[in-house]
Structure 1
């Protein structure tokens, strides 16, 4: 009797395994060899799907985006300010779901054209509100860059929610910087209270867009 052959490994299995492993080892420890071990295959089997790590990261970022946009959209009656805020809140939540999620997302190129559906809707919403297309592009990209940068710094302190790196105790920091009272007192706003900090920063970005382009 012939032995049954193992199921053929597909690209989605590799990406799912990579995203799962990312939370255990972080971006630095995520290698094609480590993913192959997790899948119990030889590393060359992965090269049928990905020529290198960046190509894998591109597909990981795309899958993260797919999962983020799979939920319900904001009601169409909401104003552009709230829709833009809601989209960036969703992006932050998605990135925080993975160790080094912002680093994976940053600089990666989405595969396919699925992301164009949401981009088209976002730009269309702003154009309908009175933005020119270049203004709409600048508004969405500025809010996106803020969110991506914020989460990158946030995950530098807390790789996963509740998992705080050593060296970021604000009381110890304040003691070391006692000769610089304003800088010392800034610690909690810099390295704690990330939810409040994100909301305030996002509100500043959106208020700036509204004031700059005079679109209410």
Structure 2
């Protein structure tokens, strides 16, 4: 991405920031690299953003804005919550390093706050205290973010370990299973042989965990 005109806009910077995250990840993201990608001086970026963190805040807000497009028109709160969480996962899956962005930014931007408030509105009719509702929403958010983080890190790990093993991380894991000793049935090896581990990061596995959380909330609500 090259911009010859020095009159760059915030939109130009945001687009380039997404490209840089996709190429380098958050660990190697810097204002200098972003400026190089835009073919400008790094100082030009500071007219629009005070720091790298302020760019991250803006990117996280863009992710939250996309999450707010979820369809929550269902009558049942369980369907609304599940639908919102599922849509949120799809957004995180499509935006590079978006799970990390939500973890490393403050929910101080308008759409970020609206995203949290929307989830709170879904649970607000339930007979829980506000403290309990906030804890439940945080639990759901953390599940979605952690699920996407695990998928992202697993992919990175497999790439990083290609040089150490011909089959990468899966091959090394299988070798460890073959050497595993212990009392009782080796259930984890059985699951591996039945290709259960191929479901890691899948929509099916995500749904199982989400259903467990939502049903748990439902059981707690029934006890109130």
Q: One fold, TM greater than 0.5?
A: yes
Other structure's SS at 2:25 match? helix
TM, length-normalised to structure 2:
0.78
Task: Tell me the CA shift for residue 12 of structure 1.
Answer: 2.8
1:175 matched to 2:175? The reply is: yes
Stretches of structure 2 that go unaligned for 5 or more consecutive residues are 163-167
Trace 1:1-216 onto structure 2 (pairs within 5 A).
6=5, 8-69=7-68, 71=69, 73-77=71-75, 79-158=76-155, 165=159, 166=162, 167-169=168-170, 172-178=172-178, 179-180=180-181, 181-187=186-192, 188-189=195-196, 192-194=199-201, 195-214=203-222
Distance 1:128 1:212, change over 3 A: closer
TM-align CA RMSD? 2.7
Task: Tell me the CA shift for residue 28 of structure 1.
Answer: 2.2
Distance 1:185 1:101, change over 3 A: farther
- State how many pairs are aligned: 206
Distance 1:43 1:191, change over 3 A: farther
2:212, 2:35 → 1: CA distance? 44
2:44, 2:190 → 1: CA distance? 53
1:186, 1:44 → 2: CA distance? 54
Distance 1:7 1:32, change over 3 A: closer
1:72, 1:60 → 2: CA distance? 18
Segment drifting more, 123-132 vs 33-42: 123-132
Q: Encode CA deviations 1:130-180: one digit per residue, 9 max, x unaligned.
A: 444323212211111111111111110135xxx9534331x5412322224
TM, length-normalised to structure 1:
0.81
Stretches of structure 1 that go unaligned for 5 or more consecutive residues are none
Match for residue 165 of structure 2? none
Other structure's SS at 2:169 match? coil
1:15, 1:176 → 2: CA distance? 43
2:40, 2:189 → 1: CA distance? 51
Contact 1:189 1:197 in 2 (8 A): no
